[in-house]
Structure 1
């Protein structure tokens, strides 16, 4: 083993022990717990080099060492083996998610599963409307001059809007508009809807064009998503298990309430099925610089739809957490593809 390889082994051992004990790690403890093949004096020399490189730090005089953000980053970048799910975990995830009745249920179950598996805060992003396709558009008469517009996407997402009409409309007119909207929009990406809608007036009778304009205006407004309904959050109480890691827990809780912060974190992972880890200061929001965030995108039929993730202390079991985030993201994508 080269000195460089041994130094990385020492760093891995420090990270593993600190994650396990939440206590600064000394050279004698490393020699006793890990088969590093060298003396405590050599380990102390390696620790001195790691400290000079900013990978570990001494929290106070005469203490052992703890990893820095840079140390965690190198540790994560060097991870080649994630802790695989046990057969029991796989069966539990699949059985729990398979029982979901609709999209809302799938995402809420995914959050609960991820929070329980990792003992951290879990978050799941709803499938983005802009990345989804139209499965069906329904027009439900409420009164002679009021309709319910129901948009159903290929991911099972359902959006409903009440549309106030300029005047009474017959059932025949509603049926004609329903047929036109579905024939032109079904199986098309919602991102393409504005262009398709601009061509629709030529497909209906002149007397229905005003009504069509009202309906399509509401439909286009629906595509401008509200952030507040795109996130499912769970496991916030798990933060109390990490009280020593969060001396100031209130700012973290406040950041979690600002869902736009979480959306920004998840949006950066939507386009990849790889697991993305942001450690400490890599999280741009000031309140989250004491946390680590592990995320992965999910999708179906090769299309990226959303992301799932976990937020917890920097002193987290990265190999365990990364594997479980990846697994839940994969299961969510597979489940949506089957529906």
Structure 2
């Protein structure tokens, strides 16, 4: 059983090791922190922490480093998730508030997160599998060329150009656009695809071919974008922390390129009462990320669907700062998307 002082010793070991990347010894703890006890007493506390497998000796020196289990206790019991400074909050609001559309806001989100945390930043698109149609626009560019615009309640805007086999009269196009919106708005994407597939059958034979060309393109547009995907930034930050990984960082780089793997990992992470979740070290072994930690939070789109954003880096990371940054960005992103 670890005492209260022992937990405080673990806290300063984690904080000092994260800051310096140097194993932490009892003399250093006494010199840097006000425990009011001797170095011998701190050594006893460290011995108990080592017995509990919360710290370990990387080599024969007197210093100790946190283990994955130690980081877990720190995150669950000791991490002080400090609120961001007013300057950091202002930076988030200013940078994300300049976004033009969903693609832009998510690209800005990962860039911002990677800068705030010095880690790899990841953000999941709102799931189109649960999205609904908000509006469909058909814009005539030339008599036989149109652009279809699909807008979902999650804020996603998808555009596609289509060359028709013959010119479509403007009145027919206006009527088709009205019909599409009256039939499809509010439908989930799978249901919208089914409706679109049968829509051309309701038109006279002389108009059916062109209508079918438009609806077939829209079906492809809907189905092609139902899969979940991630945006990532800051992979170069891994190179700056290469010493935190045994051997090469390339297996980690290869693992984070597999979006399916990362999406599965995100799906297994449940946020805690504070709105964040952390997976540490060997907890990620099944995903090829045993030497990394992942901190995530959920955000909601205007359509109500939940997606994840977070950061990934070595287990030696500033958990308190990263958890605060991830939580703050997720909350602001939810507010921003809800306004759209």
Structures share a fold, TM > 0.5?
A: yes
Partner of 1:261: 261
- Are residues 53 and 8 of structure 1, via their aligned partners in 2, closer, same or farther at CA, if it must alter by over 3 Å? same
Contact 2:244 2:316 in 1 (8 A): yes
What are the within-5 Å matches in structure 2 for residues 234-249 of structure 1? 234-246=233-245, 247-249=247-249
Q: TM-score, normalised by structure 1?
A: 0.86
- Are residues 30 and 256 of structure 1, via their aligned partners in 2, closer, same or farther at CA, if it must alter by over 3 Å? same
Matched, 1:323 2:315: no
Partner of 1:281: 282
Any gaps of 5 or more consecutive residues in structure 2? Answer: none
Partner of 1:108: 107
Q: Secondary structure at the match of 1:288?
A: coil
1:210-232 Cα offsets, whole Å, 9 max, x none, are 66555444434434456999322
Whole-angstrom CA distance in 2 between matches of 1:7 and 1:270: 29
Whole-angstrom CA distance in 1 between matches of 2:43 and 2:283: 29
Any gaps of 5 or more consecutive residues in structure 1? Answer: none
Partner of 2:118: 119
Contact 1:144 1:170 in 2 (8 A): yes
**Shift, 1:338, TM fit:** 1.5
- Are residues 220 and 44 of structure 1, via their aligned partners in 2, closer, same or farther at CA, if it must alter by over 3 Å? farther
Whole-angstrom CA distance in 1 between matches of 2:198 and 2:134: 20
Q: TM-score, normalised by structure 2?
A: 0.86
Whole-angstrom CA distance in 1 between matches of 2:236 and 2:38: 43
Contact 1:295 1:310 in 2 (8 A): yes
**Shift, 1:190, TM fit:** 3.1
1:9-54 Cα offsets, whole Å, 9 max, x none, are 2211211111111111122222222233433223222222222222
Partner of 1:314: 315
1:209-260 Cα offsets, whole Å, 9 max, x none, are 6665554444344344569993222122222321221341222222233333
Contact 1:245 1:315 in 2 (8 A): yes
Partner of 1:28: 27
Whole-angstrom CA distance in 1 between matches of 2:203 and 2:196: 12
**Shift, 1:180, TM fit:** 1.6
Whole-angstrom CA distance in 2 between matches of 1:261 and 1:235: 18
Contact 1:125 1:232 in 2 (8 A): yes
Comparing 299-308 with 248-257, greater Cα deviation is found at: 299-308
Whole-angstrom CA distance in 2 between matches of 1:216 and 1:5: 66
Partner of 1:222: 221
Whole-angstrom CA distance in 2 between matches of 1:182 and 1:227: 20
Comparing 200-209 with 170-179, greater Cα deviation is found at: 200-209
Give the superposed CA RMSD. 3.1
Contact 1:271 1:304 in 2 (8 A): no
Comparing 85-94 with 159-168, greater Cα deviation is found at: 159-168
What are the within-5 Å matches in structure 2 for residues 184-195 of structure 1? 184-190=183-189, 192-194=191-193
**Shift, 1:285, TM fit:** 5.1
Partner of 1:98: 97
Contact 1:148 1:160 in 2 (8 A): yes
Partner of 1:14: 13
